[in-house]
Amino acid sequence: MSLFDALWKAGALRPLDHAFAQSLRRLDGDDATPALVLAGAALASLAVSQGHAGFDPARPRLLLGNEALAAVDWPSAEEWNAALAGSRWISRPGDGDDAPATAPLVFESGLLYLRRYRQYEHRLAQRLRRLAAQAPATVERDALAPLLAALFPASATGTTPGADGQARAAVVALERSLLLVTGGPGTGKTTTITRLLLLLAAQARHAGHPPPRIALAAPTGRAAERMAESLGKALAALQGVAGIDPDLFATMPAGASTLHRLLGTIPDSPRFRCDADNPLPFDVVVVDEASMVDLPLMCKLAEAVPEGARLVLLGDPDQLPSVEAGDVLAAIVEATADDAGAAATGAPLAGHRVHLQRGYRQDEGFELAPLASAVRAGDADTVLGLLRGGGLSGVHFHENRLDPLDGAGRDALFDHWRQLAVATDPATALAHAARLRLLTALREGPQGAGGLNARSEDALAGARRGDQAYFQGRLLLVTENSHRQQLFNGDIGVCLRDADGMRAWFPGVDGGVRGFHPGALPAHDSAFAMTVHKAQGSEFDTVWLQLPRADGRGLSRELLYTAITRARRELHVCASEAVLRGALARHVERASGLAGRLR
């Protein structure tokens, strides 16, 4: 039995993957296409669905489970190379070349790509290298020294840990058109960017130019709202500081948008209104939560940044990568140096990254930092010791608890959710909803978001629900973008009655609220429980994390790190030792050639 047929029989391929390979077989004649080429085509399609840019024949375990691999005889690298090299369906361009449009697959640097995704990698690498190479017009740094000292006083005195990195990021941004600022929650990324933007406005004034046109964006609506809120608070904290011209504040952006809204979605098209031929009308583009941006979207964004403009990416490389194909942030981090002093290495992106290290988001009395550091390192013994020891204020471990809606969690969760139904107005309800969230690693099953939401709805609505899908206090999660309604994947709303009946209320772009008839909403689910992936880009006062009863490939240290760092004041972890150890031993790894292209 061929590898292609064995993989299909073992259930390792999706019908879509199988159909794609079969289409090549039909076009080539039933027996003309080698079985390894058919298997490679199917696996390249499967790879994209699992977040990889391409299929790596040398690392099948990135794509296939142990059960599927045990059911097949895996070919050697030489067999793969020989089969893939001789097929008319597969091209082998050099990195500086476009892939021929006649071949649907590309084999390059050991990876087999669907042609479109190889082109995304190729184009993104070219654009980022071009951005890194262009030097923006600058003024003498001495002219900005007084403002720099006013914005970063702790850096000059050395009194605040991490302030030196923040000031260095600002200086790097003055001298480069591409900047990557990385760091965990609470390390001051937004604070740094706020001061950086003020410096850029002052730099333009000194050069006799108009104030820079600045765009703030994030992958999701909620992340964009948080970005705008954080920038507003950071600007407010600087009001009245000696040495900062008050006129500079008027040049700052008033809000942030999703990347899709920024680029301009075209209905029923993968393209955007803004692209290389019709670039964005901005001088500075700042993107938060860059770890969530997938390969196609980052490529289209980078190409839409106009020549002479700056692109600033903010992100935490230890969080989960994008749900869709690619791990762009990790690739850029790999291709950059930690600070401007490493530019002498000669890599195109060297010196374009600053990593901030100051601590994690935490209120007074919430000791998350030691746990977050141990999770990030995959140190299971330290993680379990910290959880069991009870010495971390605000961190609670419910060992071996398989149901957060029973026992200690039931009253805490349901008491919070019942308050939504008696809120005096939608804004109050939305603010209350954002204070607590139940997170899970799974979508389906009794411990998944679907099962937990269904049980929560039954408990909260009770007999009053009847045949009605919507009830007072029901939390909603939008799962598809609706540009007409300005509702986007990840937006959270709450159902409350008004004089016109039941309405679904969502935050407005101006800080207010907007009401919709529930039947007019885009696709949505309940949001009492959310997957960790859906919660990425958000933060909550209290987080309950429920891990599944059995270990699985979807669990990883990145998932745990992302989940626990959503908490600001209190964290509850429900898990067994075996599942925690399994997750911490697993590191998310994506097959990608982007880092090599950037180097």
Neighbours of 332 (CB within 10 A): 26
Neighbours of 469 (CB within 10 A): 13
Return the top range by mean pLDDT from 44-48, 74-78, 205-209, 418-422: 44-48
Please report which confidence band the pLDDT of residue 66 belongs to, taking 50, 70 and 90 as the band edges. confident
pLDDT at residue 344 in the model: 37
Gap between the Cα atoms of 527 and 474, Å rounded: 8
pLDDT at residue 342 in the model: 46
**Stretch 147-165: mean pLDDT:** 64
Contact present, 587 and 556 (Cβ < 8 Å)? yes
Q: Write 68-76 long-range contacts (CB < 8 A, 24+).
A: 68/7, 68/10, 68/11, 68/12, 71/6, 71/9, 71/10, 71/12, 72/3, 72/6, 72/7, 72/10, 73/3, 73/6, 74/3, 75/3, 75/36
Task: Kindly report, residue by residue over 124-138, the tens digit of the pLDDT.
Answer: 999 999 998 887 766
pTM: 0.85
Which is nearest to 179 in space by CA: 161, 165, 159? Answer: 165
Contact present, 471 and 578 (Cβ < 8 Å)? no
Task: Using DSSP, state whether 271 is helix, strand or coil.
Answer: coil
pLDDT at residue 256 in the model: 87
Task: Kindly report, residue by residue over 322-335, the tens digit of the pLDDT.
Answer: 878 888 998 888 88
**Stretch 286-307: mean pLDDT:** 93
Cα–Cα distances (Å) from 169 to 4, 175, 220, 286, in that order, read 50, 10, 25, 13
Exposure on the CB side of residue 177, measured as CA atoms within 13 A: 20
Cα–Cα distances (Å) from 186 to 217, 368, 545, in that order, read 19, 11, 20
